[in-house]
């Protein structure tokens, strides 16, 4: 790995060196609860047959998640299914610990299994430099697959690019006679150091990002959640102590707006890399055509 990529990898894991920042747990809508920290988002989906936990944050996030679940009146031991929006350490480093403590099963889309089970060593950008404790995947699902527990069904939408197996989950929740389309979205953010053109470790990365932006803009969405609290404006939409309302997080244009913003960044970088590659090829052709 080059020195520059090592620097980017270090930047990526720097938050792991800091204590996890707590945030008041709260009900988002229906049986969906926020149990994450001030930015690293974790979601608890409560059902009569046990609960689903999506994302764990870093290892030191686990005690905070456990305390948040308890303060909401639920049992940490009732977690039966573990899932993730994408397998970077800031979202899965605590997964192996939660799995061991609760006996929950790990479920993941097929494209993300190698990353989870290698502890991040197969990551196209960071490799083992931003690794985590490997997690055995017990249940593998495909793009478009449904994950069901206790009457709650989530649909998995592959939204790759950030990692090959980045996933957005959709579920419908009915309250007061209204159906709310809820998305726990994995956005198409591009980490520093990512190469979009001629990426030998991830040849389809540019196409995958394009697919993700298209999918995110097309999915019906009333309430938009994400891997990071800042990505969906948690601190702007929710104030500690607020009385629960199913309308608190309604933001029908929020996901599309954020997807379009990130897509513009992607398109700018893609065009810049294509122009750079064009110059390289022209110089190469000129040298080959010039007689010695």
Strand order in the sheet with 26-29: 26-29, 32-34, 43-45, 51-54, 79-83, 105-109, 139-141
CA pair distance 164, 158, nearest whole angstrom: 9
pLDDT of 234 over the 80 cut: yes
CATH number of the structural domain spanning residue 45: 3.60.15.10
Print the domain residue range for 239: 3-262
pLDDT in tens, 121-155: 999 998 866 689 999 999 999 999 999 999 999 99
Domain assignment present for 36 = yes
User: How many separate domains does the chain show?
Assistant: 1
What stretches of 168-244 show up as alpha helix (H) in DSSP? 205-218, 234-237
Between CA 166 and CA 160 the distance in angstroms is 5
The pLDDT assigned to 129 comes to: 66
Mean pLDDT confidence for 176-182: 96
Percentage of the chain modeled with pLDDT above 70: 89
Q: Is residue 96 domain-resident?
A: yes
pLDDT in the model for residue 292? 61
SS3 assignment, position 54: strand
**Is residue 184 situated within a structural domain?**
yes
Give Cα separations from 189 to 166, 231, 244, 266 (angstroms).
11, 10, 31, 8
Assigned domain for 35 exists = yes
- pLDDT score recorded for residue 178: 96
Backbone angles phi, psi at 121, to 5 degrees: -65, -25
pLDDT digits over 65-119, tens only? Answer: 999 999 999 999 999 999 999 999 999 999 999 999 999 999 999 999 999 999 9
- Whether the predicted pLDDT of 187 surpasses 90: yes
Give the distance from CA 98 to its chain's centroid.
18
pLDDT band at 283 (very low <50, low <70, confident <90, very high): confident
Amino acid 19: pLDDT = 57
Kindly state whether residue 279 falls inside one of the protein's structural domains.
Answer: no
Rounded-to-integer distance, Cα 83 and Cα 105, Å? 9
* pLDDT, mean over the chain: 91
Q: How far apart are CA 66 and CA 284, in angstroms?
A: 58
Domain assignment present for 267: no
Examine residue 289 and state whether it is found in any structural domain, yes or no.
no
Residue 274 maps to a domain: no
């Amino acid at each position: 790995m080059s020195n520059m990529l090592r620097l980017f990898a270090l930047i990526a894991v720097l938050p792991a060196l800091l204590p996890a920042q707590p945030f008041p747990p709260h009900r988002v809508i229906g049986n969906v609860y926020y149990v994450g920290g001030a930015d690293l988002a974790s979601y608890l989906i409560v059902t009569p047959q046990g609960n689903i936990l999506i994302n764990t944050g870093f290892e030191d996030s686990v005690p905070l998640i456990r305390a948040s679940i308890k303060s909401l009146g639920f049992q940490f031991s009732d977690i039966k299914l573990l899932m993730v929006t994408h397998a970077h350490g800031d979202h899965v480093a605590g997964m192996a610990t939660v799995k061991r403590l609760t006996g929950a099963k790990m479920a993941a889309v097929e494209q993300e299994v190698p990353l989870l089970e290698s502890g991040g060593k197969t990551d196209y950008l960071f490799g083992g430099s931003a690794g985590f404790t490997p997690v055995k995947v017990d249940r593998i699902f495909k793009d478009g697959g449904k994950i069901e527990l206790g009457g709650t069904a989530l649909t998995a939408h592959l939204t790759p690019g950030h990692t090959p197996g980045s996933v957005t989950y959709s579920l419908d929740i009915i309250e007061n006679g209204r159906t709310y389309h809820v998305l726990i979205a994995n956005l198409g953010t591009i980490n520093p150091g990512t190469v979009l053109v001629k990426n030998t470790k991830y040849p389809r990365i540019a196409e995958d990002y394009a697919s993700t932006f298209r999918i995110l803009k097309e999915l019906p969405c009333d309430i938009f959640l994400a891997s990071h609290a800042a990505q969906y404006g948690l601190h702007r939409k929710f104030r500690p102590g607020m009385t629960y309302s199913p309308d608190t997080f309604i933001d029908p244009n929020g996901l599309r707006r954020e997807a379009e913003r990130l897509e513009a960044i992607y398109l700018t970088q893609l065009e810049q890399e294509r122009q750079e590659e064009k110059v390289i090829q022209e110089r190469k052709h000129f040298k080959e055509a010039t007689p010695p």
